[in-house]
Structure 1
Amino acid sequence: MNCFRRVLLPFYLSGLVVLMLGLFSPKTLAQKSIEIVSKPQVGAFPIVSGSTATNIVVETENAEVVNIAAEALASDIHQISGIKPKVVHELQSTPFLIIAGTLDHSPLIQQLVASKKLDISKIQHKWESFTIATINNPFPKIKQALVIVGSDRRGTAYGLFEISRLAGVSPWQWWADVHPKPRKALYAINGNVTVGEPSVKYRGIFINDEDWGLNAWSKRKMDTDIKDIGPNTYSHVFELLLRLRANMIWPAMHDSTNAFWYYKQNPKVADKYGIVIGSTHCDMMLRSNTFEWGKNYANEYKQKPSEYRYDNNKAQIYQYWEDRIKEAQNYEAIYTIGMRGVRDGSIVGPTTKEGKIQLLDVIFKDQREIFEKYLGGVAKTPQIFCPYKEVLDLYRAGLKVPEEATLIWTDDNFGYIRQLSNPEEQKRSGASGVYYHLSYLGGPHDYLWLTTTSPSLMSYEMTKAYQFGANRLWVLNVGDIKPSEMETQFFLDMAWDVNKWNPENASKYAEYWANSTFGKELAPEIASIKNQYLQLAQNGKPEHLGILQFDDEAKQYRIQAYNQLMKQVDKLKKRVPSYLQDAFFELIEYPVKGAGLMNDKIFYAEWSRQIALSNKPLAIEYTRKLAEAFKQIQALTHHYTTAIEGGKWDHVITYAPRNLAVYGMPQVGVPEILDSTIKAPKVYDRRYLDTTPVSASSQTDSLTIFAADFLKKHTINHEQIMTINGLGLGGKSISRYPFTGISFKETSFENAPYVDYEFLLKRGNYEFSVKCLPTHAIHAGRNLLLGVSFNQEKPSFVNFANLKEDKKWSANVLRGFAESTIPFTSTKSQKVKVRLYLMDTGLAISRLDMKLLNK
């Protein structure tokens, strides 16, 4: 479609969201998937029938996590039906039984395999896989059994939680109060299904920046004896991970929290739940340096620590690491190797890159020596190396990382992955993985309050990572877990089956998730709200509104768009069943209204200041509106922390993490009318507000074409030019796919894929701009090169790759796009053909603007 038009603002969504139904993993689609229904059918297995619930058999030979998952399933069934099955540990003479066991750890499963009543060929010797099957006459006097068998202990637990999922129990049944729909009876139909292996071996979360939420909540509601994040909190975290088919934790490690290993029950609880223990990019060898070196070293070792620098304090640091490995050797763990500062800073000691690299060579050698002593050798020790921040510079300068270590690539803290494995790195036995952020404390400004990273962006970046070999470990910085529920689930769903949610269909995830969370009837409207909320945040997260500059048209649009979303929320809330009202508030109402009211507060304040002298009555009106918005944010947060489930979430969320200025009462045009009770929080740290303001508004006097509205495309080598909904300005972007396609040099541009557009221009001088996602080049040797040709002339080339995190990068990640401009002169009124050559993969193009410079 020829879509040249004048566009005032970039903030809208287009397209319809399609309902996604079916099981969690498309690897099951070739089979007839098990369903759980409420009415009996011929051959159906009764889970709950009449006043009876079928017992669950878990033999004592199984790992403790299997019993934990069985008890959780029994509780889930009780939530649904009011009848709780018993978890028993030996076969019973009853007509029906649910039997759960792990291969090689369950005599009952082994008997069923030996009698050829159970086929385990699809999961044998596999990682975290499971089969669910109904078996007639499995044992004497038993008419039918529903059998869940796992290839290992977590596989069995996942299988048990799959029954919960099929019965309508959300993974967020405890963490977001998503209570299941009541049903009097439950029957399993359709026989059997096999699920697994997962796409990514280790999949988990990092609890981070917990000071203002999870820690404050834990010490009040969960671990009240130690007043810290401890085993009671972690038991709920670990159950959530199992329900999400995750298997790994990077524990909380901020100044407010004592080290995970300080409480001896924590690793024991992790082992009971089958959760692999890891540590962050700056906490090596399972140590938590802020606490264990900084605060507790003297208590542990009865002496003060010397400086945390390996070149002159090797003996002390070596022992510090060695002691943790001794303690951890009987737990399932992943070890971070290398060295950084005590906190999230550069390694201390040598001042040159060469000196730091030489010191890290020694550190690697000594850490491997510890692995040989206690863990059976480096080949048997899961280990990671994370080239994060300044460590990436050392790696690029020639640091040689042990072959067995998994390279954990990182995003730039704002969702765009810095670098991935090149062809040589993809051959490493340790493979690679990704550390990704949904929450971040740091420059150019934090985003710790609301979660606004879209599934489309996550899928774009994580699919790219997977296609370049990042399949060993994915870890997600979730902040305080809440309010990142849907986004966390999406990330872990992708980690389980990366092919199910590719960039082309990721925008449909919100409806898939809403269907399983709130039901089919409400799902389309909830997804529409969620997707529009995420799209608005693409151009300005609520936490960043104190830095970004919008023109008046953009401000007005955003206020109207958010107000419309808030009205939709209020209208839809009336149709939400009573048992899901709290969940709706937590998952939908609070983030949408919080973001909308933040826009009201910031923009009305700016307007009130602008017109305070010229139009005082209107300035007074604006001041009252922004004050009311501020009060509503406070009231919503108060409701969250005091009213839900009798105060269950006391202090789990705050509207002002770190008390930064953007969260408080802004300067207003007419301060004398304000209620004296309205006060701004104390400004904790303003250094991140010094960034040069950027504009996220559209250009005036511009013709705009959205990149997805091309007239013609040309592809190569079975590639496609994919349109990605929910990504970039206007809610759509285009990109070459798959990401592994070749790169082209300027001299061979004619062989590259291209897209064509057409502008109807008057005579004059123009500035042509291309707006793209602020992504990074995939690896050294690749760029983000784009060729721009006018009327089939020789193209000009622009490279969107930005290796430095400078002011340009800051502006790009805050406003949600990178931009390059090329001058063009139209000597007459004419149709101008613009051809874009997509020279590299990883470039997501959103919008083209042709701005008239002289009239």
Structure 2
Amino acid sequence: MLFDTQIRPAVIHDKDIPLTHAAELLGRDLEGLTGTAPKLSGDLKACGTVCIVITTLDSPLSKRLVKQGTIDLSALSGQWERYGRAVITTPDQTIVLISGSDTRGAVWGVMDLTRELGVSPWEWWADVTPRRVDRLTLKSGSILSDAPTVKYRGIFLNDEDWGLQPWAAKTFETNTKDIGPKTYAKIFELMWRLKANTIWPAMHDSTKPFYQIKGNPEMARDYAIVVGTSHAEPMMRNNVREWDKAKNGDFNFFTNPERMISYWRERVQEVKGFENIYSVGVRGVHDSAMEGAETPEQARDAVAEVIGIQRDLLARAQKKPAIQIPQALTLYKEVLDVYKAGLNVPDDITLVWPDDNYGYIHQLSTPDEAKRSGGAGVYYHISYWGRPHDYLWLGTTHPALIREQMQRAHVTGAHDIWIVNVGDIKPAEYLTQYFLDLAFDAKAFDATPRDHLMAWSAQQFGADQAAEITDILTDYYDLAWERRPEFMGWSQTEPTTPTRQSDYIGSDGSEAQARIGAYAALTARSEAVAAKLPEDRQPAFFELALYPVRSAANLNARILKLDLAAFYARQSRATVANSLSAEARAAHDGIVADAETYNTQLGGKWRHMMDMAPRRLPVFNAPAFPVYAAANPTTDKPLPKPVAPVAITYNTEVAKVVTIPAAFTTSPDWQIVPGLGSLGQSLRARLDLKPQGFTTATPATYRFDTRTDGTATLKIIALPVHALTSQSGVKVAVSIDDQPPVILDFETVGRSDEWKQNVLSNNAVRELTGLKLKPGRHTLKLYALDPGVIIDRFEVRFDGARARYGAVK
């Protein structure tokens, strides 16, 4: 269906505020596409030759048009967030009707329409500005949308101290000097474009609490956004800045229950007219354990009592049973231990399962838990402040990990709440959209991560560059999978430790040189794409691709080149060492320059949004760039030019090591996970597998050849996933040649040192040592004992093999 852009369309809408905003958004998009602002009206009489009508199913406007066009939208009655779209034509007029089963259903109809017309969800937040077209094209025929897969889908604005809050306060909303209604209006508009309906507002000490800024809750209401709060904010209370200890005493339910109950009652009464999801339970003032509880059992009993009191407060405030009021309990950190201690949670409260802050979900619902009327949800991080190390700067969580982990949530029935911690929103734009796309429509799981990224790249930058941009971003995520840029200092935080030499500096420095080369090639490819893109896509490409790629490359180059400089200086190769030190300084200067460009381009639109050193952790500090002396004339020669890597034949010994990708084979108990792991795909024990012994398992079988006659170690390298549910574990069994199978357990305890190293490297390793392997053909068998265990690769390492940090590629 084509519409000539010379025809000025009208946008007719129901007169409620959210649909008025939806009509205004559509009007701006149409103006961006055609150069002409459409007429906006709440009166069908204003409809000219072409008009778009935005309404809800039960409104008089919708009923009139349905009757006029003999359209059947009865299937939408009583549905959650669905819409119908139909075209009504007469000799003089064409009407595109978007009718929602409810307000948000109508909004999603508008958002799908703008995408179909060619407007990116990132048109404002990443400057993918709409392009002028000669004709507007829509699919012909009627559309009846499905209900969203996940009922409440949204974002948590968090750790906003270095980006979103200073940008809002100093650049975008200078009258409020904080994240106020003007900023939230833009955030809510982005959420609409991503078809998200739930917000956990920013809540750090740097930000004035959401309910203390006039207009914030009203703006959420005007955009039909559901407001919830994080695991640390029960009863819509931001304790960090709202609990006055001098006035109220300790935040301790054992010693000060009356004041805490009064504090909750005040907020519950204040917000009773808004659409909210209430976090229940009690923790410390901020992200800390419940004050006063000395044992999990004592905490369990107190939390149960608190939840009962909170439900009574809600019921009294809203004058209806608590079972009719959306509530959630996020089982974060110690709250999960309290739950495991036998906490009795009312059946209608949604259990929200968290990840471990690094992208691995702790556990999900058992079949019995999945039957609860409140259902289940997930709280997931793509940005994090905390131990063992932050990753707040660049969006580097691998899309394939997001897909795999959220697929677990989907198949175990977590369909009620999905919240993703997006930090400052930028530069995690793509990851945010991918998470929310999976939440809105489970059919998105059918596409590989690469396919989704390809479609997204085409939407932002056009089909002609989409493949190359997809390859670039895939390589960017792959390199960060091995080690995030923020983790390259091999330091930790809480407590903060100094940086040390990278583990990429092995016996000869070749692994570090290869990583530097990979990032340099990636940067060159990114810059080549940037040079080809038209001017109107330059800012967007810088924000969405070039900035994160080049900044990650420069931080890796600065760190690894300084390590290599010290390495060569110890060999008295001062000329090489000094050259590397100078290149490291240039890399740091590049980080500084790109952050400045980010904050000053487009007339300073994003000034104060990008901080190259959040929390000022040691990895970001400008180091000393030493100058070395005392060269050795016989060894102090320039480094050879990099050569293309020799093709690796897997399953065959190279440098006393055999690398065996786990996904080289499979069995009925295993399935391949595309895009995930150090070698491009991994092997996962089926999610529907029942825990079993190796005698009933069907093994995945591998064959490999060795040439060395000696003692070897078999390393089984898994992803650091957790047990799928409380009824399973993280076990496999392995046998080599004719040896009996050995059971290996990958489970870690709490925030142990092992867990910390696992999440920093995305590896979990178990070893079989002292293997006597003769030259020739060998057989390795892998048995799945628990569902969801993911194996990345195997390495057979003979004594004397060169040390490596990453996989042989």
| TM-score over 0.5 (shorter chain) | yes
1:793 deviates by: 4.1
Q: May I ask how many residue pairs the two structures share in their alignment?
A: 760
1:623 & 1:825 partners in 2: Cα distance? 43
1:86 & 1:627 partners in 2: Cα distance? 56
1:827 deviates by: 5.5
1:578 & 1:843 partners in 2: Cα distance? 47
The counterpart of 2:48, out of the listed 81, 84, 94, is: 94
Greater shift, 799-808 or 567-576, is seen at 799-808
Residue type of the partner of 2:278?
A: Y
1:546 & 1:501 partners in 2: Cα distance? 35
The counterpart of 1:405, out of the listed 330, 349, 352, is: 349
Judged with a 3 Å threshold, the aligned counterparts in structure 2 of structure 1 residues 790 and 306 are, in CA distance, closer, same or farther, namely same
Greater shift, 246-255 or 755-764, is seen at 755-764
Q: Which residue of 2 aligns with 1:288?
A: 238
The counterpart of 2:263, out of the listed 304, 308, 320, is: 320
Q: Which residue of 2 aligns with 1:330?
A: 273
Residue type of the partner of 1:82?
A: G
1:572 & 1:484 partners in 2: Cα distance? 20
Q: Which residue of 1 aligns with 2:485?
A: 542
1:128 aligns with 2:88: no
Residue type of the partner of 1:49?
A: T
1:702 deviates by: 1.1
1:275 deviates by: 0.3
1:782 aligns with 2:728: yes
Q: Which residue of 2 aligns with 1:455?
A: 399
1:372 aligns with 2:372: no
1:508 deviates by: 2.0
Residue type of the partner of 2:483?
A: G
Residue type of the partner of 2:734?
A: V
Residues 285, 335 of structure 1: 8 Å contact kept: yes
Residues 53, 83 of structure 1: 8 Å contact kept: yes
Residues 605, 666 of structure 1: 8 Å contact kept: no
Residue type of the partner of 1:98?
A: I
1:194 aligns with 2:144: yes
1:245 aligns with 2:191: no
1:45 deviates by: 5.1
Q: Which residue of 1 aligns with 2:424?
A: 480
Residues 84, 145 of structure 2: 8 Å contact kept: yes
Deviations 1:456-507 (A, max 9, x none): 10010011011112110000000000000000000000000123224x7123
2:406 & 2:773 partners in 1: Cα distance? 45
1:726 aligns with 2:675: yes
Q: In structure 2, the residue corresponding to 1:574 is in which secondary structure?
A: helix
2:537 & 2:475 partners in 1: Cα distance? 22
Q: In structure 2, the residue corresponding to 1:122 is in which secondary structure?
A: helix
1:753 & 1:594 partners in 2: Cα distance? 46
1:220 deviates by: 1.4
Residue type of the partner of 2:591?
A: I
Q: Which residue of 2 aligns with 1:559?
A: 516
1:809 aligns with 2:766: no
Residue type of the partner of 1:288?
A: N
1:429 deviates by: 1.1
1:661 & 1:441 partners in 2: Cα distance? 14
2:450 & 2:745 partners in 1: Cα distance? 28
Deviations 1:222-261 (A, max 9, x none): 2211211111100000000011000000000001001000
2:342 & 2:324 partners in 1: Cα distance? 26
1:849 aligns with 2:799: no
Q: In structure 2, the residue corresponding to 1:499 is in which secondary structure?
A: helix
1:95 deviates by: 2.9
Residue type of the partner of 2:53?
A: I
Q: Which residue of 2 aligns with 1:103?
A: 57
The counterpart of 2:700, out of the listed 738, 755, 771, is: 755
1:112 aligns with 2:65: yes
Residues 544, 814 of structure 1: 8 Å contact kept: yes
1:833 aligns with 2:789: no
Q: Which residue of 2 aligns with 1:741?
A: 689
Judged with a 3 Å threshold, the aligned counterparts in structure 2 of structure 1 residues 277 and 70 are, in CA distance, closer, same or farther, namely same
2:773 & 2:107 partners in 1: Cα distance? 70
1:795 & 1:471 partners in 2: Cα distance? 38
1:709 & 1:173 partners in 2: Cα distance? 42
Residue type of the partner of 1:844?
A: I
2:64 & 2:778 partners in 1: Cα distance? 75
1:156 & 1:116 partners in 2: Cα distance? 18
Deviations 1:368-423 (A, max 9, x none): 11011012121111011011111111111112222111111111000000111112
1:430 deviates by: 0.9
Residues 45, 146 of structure 1: 8 Å contact kept: no
Q: In structure 1, the residue corresponding to 2:778 is in which secondary structure?
A: strand
2:217 & 2:444 partners in 1: Cα distance? 33
Q: In structure 2, the residue corresponding to 1:53 is in which secondary structure?
A: coil
Q: Unpaired segments of 5 or more residues in structure 2? A: 491-501, 630-652, 802-809
1:277 & 1:699 partners in 2: Cα distance? 56
Residue type of the partner of 1:145?
A: I
Q: Which residue of 2 aligns with 1:609?
A: 566
1:310 aligns with 2:253: yes
Residues 9, 49 of structure 2: 8 Å contact kept: no
Residues 270, 276 of structure 1: 8 Å contact kept: yes
Deviations 1:438-470 (A, max 9, x none): 100001110010011122100100110111121
Residue type of the partner of 1:740?
A: D
1:268 deviates by: 0.1
Judged with a 3 Å threshold, the aligned counterparts in structure 2 of structure 1 residues 516 and 753 are, in CA distance, closer, same or farther, namely farther
Q: In structure 2, the residue corresponding to 1:416 is in which secondary structure?
A: coil
Judged with a 3 Å threshold, the aligned counterparts in structure 2 of structure 1 residues 443 and 509 are, in CA distance, closer, same or farther, namely same
Deviations 1:189-244 (A, max 9, x none): 41222222011000000000000100010011222112111111000000000110
2:232 & 2:788 partners in 1: Cα distance? 28
1:69 deviates by: 1.0
Greater shift, 121-130 or 213-222, is seen at 121-130
Residue type of the partner of 2:717?
A: K
Q: Which residue of 1 aligns with 2:499?
A: none
Deviations 1:556-615 (A, max 9, x none): 111101100110011111211111110000001000000000000001111223333522
1:736 deviates by: 3.1
For residues 53-92 of structure 1, the aligned pairs below 5 Å read 53-60=8-15, 63-92=16-45
Taking structure 1 as the reference length, the TM-score comes to 0.87
1:96 deviates by: 2.4
1:519 deviates by: 1.0
1:827 & 1:151 partners in 2: Cα distance? 67
Residues 384, 390 of structure 2: 8 Å contact kept: yes
Judged with a 3 Å threshold, the aligned counterparts in structure 2 of structure 1 residues 619 and 197 are, in CA distance, closer, same or farther, namely same
Q: In structure 1, the residue corresponding to 2:663 is in which secondary structure?
A: coil
Q: Which residue of 2 aligns with 1:15?
A: none
Residues 610, 669 of structure 1: 8 Å contact kept: no
Residues 728, 817 of structure 1: 8 Å contact kept: no
1:71 & 1:361 partners in 2: Cα distance? 46
Deviations 1:777-806 (A, max 9, x none): 112221121111223543111011223221
Deviations 1:524-565 (A, max 9, x none): 000000000000000110000001521322211111011001
Q: In structure 2, the residue corresponding to 1:56 is in which secondary structure?
A: strand
For residues 257-276 of structure 1, the aligned pairs below 5 Å read 257-276=207-226
Residues 436, 475 of structure 1: 8 Å contact kept: yes
Residues 55, 62 of structure 2: 8 Å contact kept: yes
Q: In structure 2, the residue corresponding to 1:220 is in which secondary structure?
A: helix
1:393 aligns with 2:337: yes
Judged with a 3 Å threshold, the aligned counterparts in structure 2 of structure 1 residues 312 and 671 are, in CA distance, closer, same or farther, namely farther
1:444 & 1:268 partners in 2: Cα distance? 38
Residues 725, 732 of structure 1: 8 Å contact kept: yes
Q: In structure 2, the residue corresponding to 1:366 is in which secondary structure?
A: helix
